[in-house]
Structure 1
Amino acid sequence: MTFSICVREAYTGAEGKRHARFGVAVTTRLPGVGTICPFASGNGAVATQSLVNVDLGRRGIEYLDDGLAIGDALESLLNADDGRERRQLHGVDADGTFAFSGEECNDWYGHASGENYTVAGNLLTGESVVDAVAATYESDAFGDAPLAERLIDALEAGQDEGGDKREELPVQSAALKVATTEDREFEPYYDDLRVDATETPVVDLRETFEEARRGGEIVLERYDGEGGGDGENDD
């Protein structure tokens, strides 16, 4: 897999209470990355990549939901994984971060961590891809735009820096997930998006985000005051 970012943000909800939101976004020069790499819940976000072991992401989130700290959860899974040196695994929870890149991942590979985010990549054109993803997120962390949109900005910066070096593979994909501790009356349509097979994954993910946001605005306007703004289909 190529490169991904996991983030944690604290914010004040509509009712004035403090909440946390978690996000993960990824893109690669293979189809369907959204089915195997990004995982998120109201307790954290995890990305599993390189020679992917989907169970690391799925069980990682389950462990976070059970109350384990991110480091304890992901390290315990790696310790039980015979293929750990071919894995990349990283993520965030309410209190910390964790990032691991096995020594048998394909160059260029590596990861970076900040106070509230992790970034990792492999088979990249160089370290500058990961640096660009991190710097772009940091420059607008906690900004006014939705987290989903800012995650796309971060992916775009990595693509512009060179991204995945496998230019012979035209079919690509991208995905993002955002989860929050807030019990919202209306869940945005743009917090769980995938582009499964395209030659322009980040561009298409942004277009999908914009259309999902526009669709949500139309639904809210149509059902305002009618009790139908819960996101259910009205066929």
Structure 2
Amino acid sequence: MTFSICVRETYEDDDGDEQTRFGVAVTTRLPGVGTMCPFVSEHGAVATQSLVNERLGRKGVEYLDDGLGVEDALQSLLNADANAPARQLHGVGRDGEFAFSGDECMDHYDDVVGDGYTVAGNLLTGSEVLEATSDVYEGTRDDDRPLALRLIDALEAGHEEGGDKREDLTVQSAAVKVATTEDREPEPYYDDLRVDATETPLADLRETYEYAKQGYEAALEKYGDAYEDDDMDAAEE
């Protein structure tokens, strides 16, 4: 019922220190996908879908936070799951990637594992959905634009190739989440966004992103000194 992308990227912060960021983005032809499927922390990103089990995503990220490799973390959860054949579970950790699609997932389903990213989907119009998602992400990896926006770009490419095939289900949703090892104050508002019920989920998610970015920049301009000093007395009146 869903397709999604999980990614890992390294970059240099403004001080020249190497940082790692993780992101996950997802869309489906059902409401509220952002409440169930995408999970992220500064140690990794996980998406759980098909017959959704939120515990797989939540515990998967907890295991990554505890230092497990992504394959060990997610495979151990699947090994203990009696309904594993109906699951899709994929993600990235600090040092690897993992994707699983059970043989009871509904066609068309598949997953892609690339260098620093995974893509998976089910109930798709065809394999071109995941191919387009992967291609657009790979083509934007060197962009200076924020990861959240580039993940929306990738999902839009898959959607334009057909996306979720259940056209009779018009109420849809989408979400994007990003976390990083960098200490940022405040956290950008545009790194955790959801559109829970709409007929145009990715267009609405992009618009929400643009408003969130605008609001973040306005807040920094108005309250930047207060954030830096951790003191509201420094805030502009």
TM-score where L is the length of structure 2: 0.95
Q: Which residue in 1 is equivalent to 2:22?
A: 22
Q: Which residue in 1 is equivalent to 2:122?
A: 122
User: Aligned in 2, Cα 1:186/1:76: closer, same or farther, shift over 3 Å?
Assistant: same
Q: For residue 2 of structure 1, report the CA deviation from its aligned partner.
A: 1.1
Contact 1:223/1:229, CA 8 A, preserved across alignment: no
Q: Which residue in 1 is equivalent to 2:46?
A: 46
Q: For residue 13 of structure 1, report the CA deviation from its aligned partner.
A: 1.0
Cα RMSD of the aligned pairs, angstroms, is: 1.5
Q: Is 1:37–2:16 an aligned residue pair?
A: no
Stretch moving more, 147-156 or 180-189: 180-189
Contact 2:10/2:19, CA 8 A, preserved across alignment: yes
Structure 1 residues 16-165: aligned runs within 5 Å: 16-165=16-165
Instruction: Report Cα offsets for 1:76-110 as digits up to 9, x if no partner.
Output: 00000000000000000111000000000000000
Contact 1:9/1:142, CA 8 A, preserved across alignment: no
Q: Which residue in 1 is equivalent to 2:183?
A: 183
Which amino acid letter does the alignment assign opposite residue 69 of structure 1? G
Instruction: Report Cα offsets for 1:33-88 as digits up to 9, x if no partner.
Output: 00000000000000000000110000000000000000000000000000000000
Q: For residue 25 of structure 1, report the CA deviation from its aligned partner.
A: 0.1
The 3-state SS of whatever aligns with 2:190 is helix
Q: For residue 220 of structure 1, report the CA deviation from its aligned partner.
A: 1.2
Contact 2:185/2:228, CA 8 A, preserved across alignment: no
Q: Give the whole-Å Cα distance in 1 for the aligned partners of 2:178 and 2:142.
A: 14
TM-score where L is the length of structure 1: 0.96
Structure 2 stretches lacking a partner, 5+ long: none
Q: For residue 223 of structure 1, report the CA deviation from its aligned partner.
A: 1.9
Q: Give the whole-Å Cα distance in 2 for the aligned partners of 1:46 and 1:128.
A: 22
Instruction: Report Cα offsets for 1:137-177 as digits up to 9, x if no partner.
Output: 00011311000000000010011000000000010000010
Q: Give the whole-Å Cα distance in 2 for the aligned partners of 1:41 and 1:96.
A: 15
Structure 1 runs (4+) greater than 4 angstroms displaced: 226-230
Q: Give the whole-Å Cα distance in 2 for the aligned partners of 1:105 and 1:115.
A: 25
Instruction: Give the % identical residues.
Output: 67
The 3-state SS of whatever aligns with 2:154 is helix
Aligned residues: 232
Q: Give the whole-Å Cα distance in 2 for the aligned partners of 1:110 and 1:210.
A: 31
Q: Give the whole-Å Cα distance in 2 for the aligned partners of 1:169 and 1:110.
A: 21
The 3-state SS of whatever aligns with 2:90 is strand
Contact 2:185/2:227, CA 8 A, preserved across alignment: no
User: Aligned in 2, Cα 1:227/1:89: closer, same or farther, shift over 3 Å?
Assistant: closer
